[in-house]
Amino acid sequence: MDARTHETRLRIERIRDALAAAGAHAVLIPSADPHLSEYLPQRWQGREWLSGFTGSAGSLVVTRDLAVLFADSRYWAQAEAQLAGSGITLEKMNSGAATIYIDWIAHALQPGQTLAVDGQVLGLSLANALRAGLARKGVKLRTDADLLSDAWDDRPGLPLDPIYEHLPPQAAVARADKLARVRAAMADAGASHHLVSTVDDVAWLLNLRGADVECNPVFIAHLLLEAGGGRLFIADGKVPAGVTASLAADGIHLAPYDQTAAALGALPPDAKLLIDPRRVTLGLREAVPGGVKVVEQINPSTLQKSRKSPAEAVFIREAMAEDGAAMCEFYAEFEASLARGERWSELDVDARLSACRARRKHFIGLSFSTIAGWMANGALPHYRALPESFAHIEGSGLLLIDSGGQYLGGTTDITRVWPIGSVSDAQKRDYTLVLKGTIALSRTRFPRGTLSPMLDAIARAPLWEHGLDYGHGTGHGVGYFLNVHEGPQSISKAIPDATMAMEPGMVTSIEPGLYRPGQWGVRIENLVLNVAVDTPEHNAFGEMLAFETLTLCPIATSCIDMSLMRTDEIAWLNSYHATVRERLQPRVSGAALAWLLQRTEPIAA
């Protein structure tokens, strides 16, 4: 047993001691914080601390004699490797949104026994599902205890990095204008107050940024708005004096972070509070007095921030061009180095690509940890090379690189797969089918208001035709110098709801994939912008939208099986490469320019 596995077993025993002391029979440790964030500050990475599993999603259930991690297909191979020898069993879920662990808990516990989960990190919607599922079996739910703190002696505190203002010209919409728009939506909902807990909504609404979460320029805070002002609940010392004054000028005043629940508890009886049940925790909901009317609907800011303004779109295009130039510099260096016989590892790819980005204008940091996967590692959708576990790029095969940057004017996310040496016919076939899916969705036109999950099958169809598929979504929303994953739109197999309607200004990824476990993986990803298009039948059938491809980087053509490509698909690719060449040529020189020109040469049908 290695030291890591031994430590994991000790930690599981400590949580069991806390479980017994609390008189509970099982504990649920979700991947969540008090803001229901996807990416967590260290303080709330309890599932990772307990299990050793480092994936960004998954839930851990510990009973007095069992420990089970629930994870979806993106993480199965990773989880199996990281859980080996820990005594923790992997339960495979078919979807990241699945809650099969509710049924598992209800089956594992006896009537009258108790499940403990910290209500301060338990989403309201999930809490309702848990209660309903457990009640059918007579299992009790306890949400008033944080057993993790009882077991985690050296648990990190709140992050203390200072926040800063996102300033014009990149902050193209003033804070006062955003607040006015949200208050107008509050008025339409009949609400006098509105609680915003999701950290990217708070950052967007107040034109503030921070560094509390790796790769995400956000900070830990809650915001309580009312008609004449608002309170930002944030840790002491995080807001510089100048920012405090700027916020006060817009009616936003500071309050201690740990006073959020008390402020909700002090709302007047005639208050009407707007909350988003998918974006607020049970703990905060239970702090609201019973006499206060609660209006449940999506945060207005979630919808508003998803629609980038025309001025913001200009800066996003600029960020994409800077990012594309960095990619050209990197790939030119990478291929020339390989040609000289120099040895590269996945760690080298990460470090040297990051260095190329760091030299670009308005670059702030990475938008997520770079995925550089050689061959079998490319078949792990959320793989990350680490000093203790990485591969060297040797022989022939496919190298998958999924990476992105945070710029003052936008957030980027791009995946490319590059053939190294001689690639097989099977690899070319897989690559081409994925490319056909990327092209098919990129070319799609659709009515404004189309629910985004309805578009998912378009990218999958070329793969489905050959009996193939992939286990992750096809596309996610992307923030504006904010989180690389953003809602409400999601091009996926998710059950659609009205908030997922596609509207002008939304930025979304298109990233179909195909993964051969133990062999290789393929994913080709661009970001796209929803734009209105004129059609001859506009008056009869309403407004149509199309995708403007924002990402600017050549797509490898030497790996294409031309027998699978149609003439119109080749025309799209040639047109895309012409745009990439035109936009990037003024920003690169020397070897990078030569590489760009070579890689954007049109291909014949």
What domains are defined for the chain? 3-151 (3.40.350.10), 164-301 (3.40.350.10), 307-599 (3.90.230.10)
Strand, coil or helix: what is 206? Answer: helix
**DSSP code for 564:** G
Separation between Cα atoms, residue 328 and residue 306, nearest integer Å: 29
Count other C-beta atoms under 10 Å from residue 493's C-beta. Answer: 17
Strand, coil or helix: what is 190? Answer: coil
Please count the residues of the chain.
605
Q: How far apart are the first and last CA of the chain?
A: 57
Closest CA to 201 of 303, 130, 346: 303
Q: How confident is the model at residue 539, as a pLDDT?
A: 61
Mean pLDDT of 168-184: 97
Q: Do 401 and 418 contact (CB within 8 A), yes or no? A: yes
Is residue 288 packed enough to be buried (19+ CB in 10 Å), middle (13-18) or exposed (0-12)? Answer: buried
Q: How confident is the model at residue 81, as a pLDDT?
A: 83
Q: In which band, very low, low, confident or very high, does the pLDDT at 412 lie, cut at 50, 70 and 90? A: very high
Long-range contact list for 528-535, CB < 8 A, 24+ apart?
Answer: 528/442, 529/308, 529/313, 529/316, 529/505, 530/502, 530/503, 530/504, 530/505, 530/506, 531/504, 532/448, 532/504, 533/445, 535/445
Do β-strands 445-447 and 544-549 pair in parallel, antiparallel, or remain unpaired? Answer: antiparallel
Mean pLDDT of 174-198: 97
Q: How confident is the model at residue 558, as a pLDDT?
A: 95
Do β-strands 272-275 and 293-296 pair in parallel, antiparallel, or remain unpaired? Answer: parallel
**DSSP code for 440:** H
Q: How confident is the model at residue 145, as a pLDDT?
A: 86
Mean pLDDT of 117-124: 92
Separation between Cα atoms, residue 51 and residue 79, nearest integer Å: 10
Residues near 515 by beta carbon (within 8 Å), at least 6 away in sequence: 378, 379, 380, 381, 470, 471, 521, 522
Mean pLDDT of 405-420: 98
Q: Report CA-CA distances (Å) from 391 to 75, 372, 373.
A: 19, 9, 8
What would the pLDDT profile of 485-494 be if each residue is shown by its tens digit? Answer: 999 999 999 8
Q: How confident is the model at residue 82, as a pLDDT?
A: 87
Rg (CA), the chain: 25
Q: How many Cα atoms sit within 13 Å of 496 on the Cβ side? A: 14
Q: In which band, very low, low, confident or very high, does the pLDDT at 95 lie, cut at 50, 70 and 90? A: low
Strand ranges inside 386-493, DSSP E: 397-403, 405-407, 410-411, 414-420, 445-447, 475-477, 486-491
pLDDT at 4 over 70: no
Strand, coil or helix: what is 257? Answer: helix
Dig out the tokens for 21 from the structure. 């002391």
> HEC states along 97-143?
CCCHHHHHHHHHCCCCCEEECCCCCCEHHHHHHHHHHHHCCCCEEEC
What would the pLDDT profile of 60-93 be if each residue is shown by its tens digit? Answer: 999 999 999 998 877 877 888 888 888 899 988 8
Percent over 70 (pLDDT), the chain:
98
Mean pLDDT of 17-22: 91
Q: Which one-letter amino acid corresponds to residue 181?
A: R
Separation between Cα atoms, residue 310 and residue 203, nearest integer Å: 20
pLDDT at 1 over 50: no
Count other C-beta atoms under 10 Å from residue 415's C-beta. Answer: 24
How many helices, marked H, and strands, marked E, lie in the chain?
Answer: 19, 28
What would the pLDDT profile of 337-393 be if each residue is shown by its tens digit? Answer: 999 999 999 999 999 999 999 999 999 999 999 999 999 999 988 888 888 889 999
Q: How confident is the model at residue 98, as a pLDDT?
A: 57
Q: Do 301 and 204 contact (CB within 8 A), yes or no? A: yes
Q: Do 243 and 167 contact (CB within 8 A), yes or no? A: no
Mean pLDDT of the chain: 93
Q: How confident is the model at residue 388, as a pLDDT?
A: 84
What would the pLDDT profile of 290-307 be if each residue is shown by its tens digit? Answer: 999 999 999 999 999 999
pLDDT at 536 over 80: no
Q: How confident is the model at residue 97, as a pLDDT?
A: 55
Separation between Cα atoms, residue 553 and residue 572, nearest integer Å: 14
Count other C-beta atoms under 10 Å from residue 316's C-beta. Answer: 24
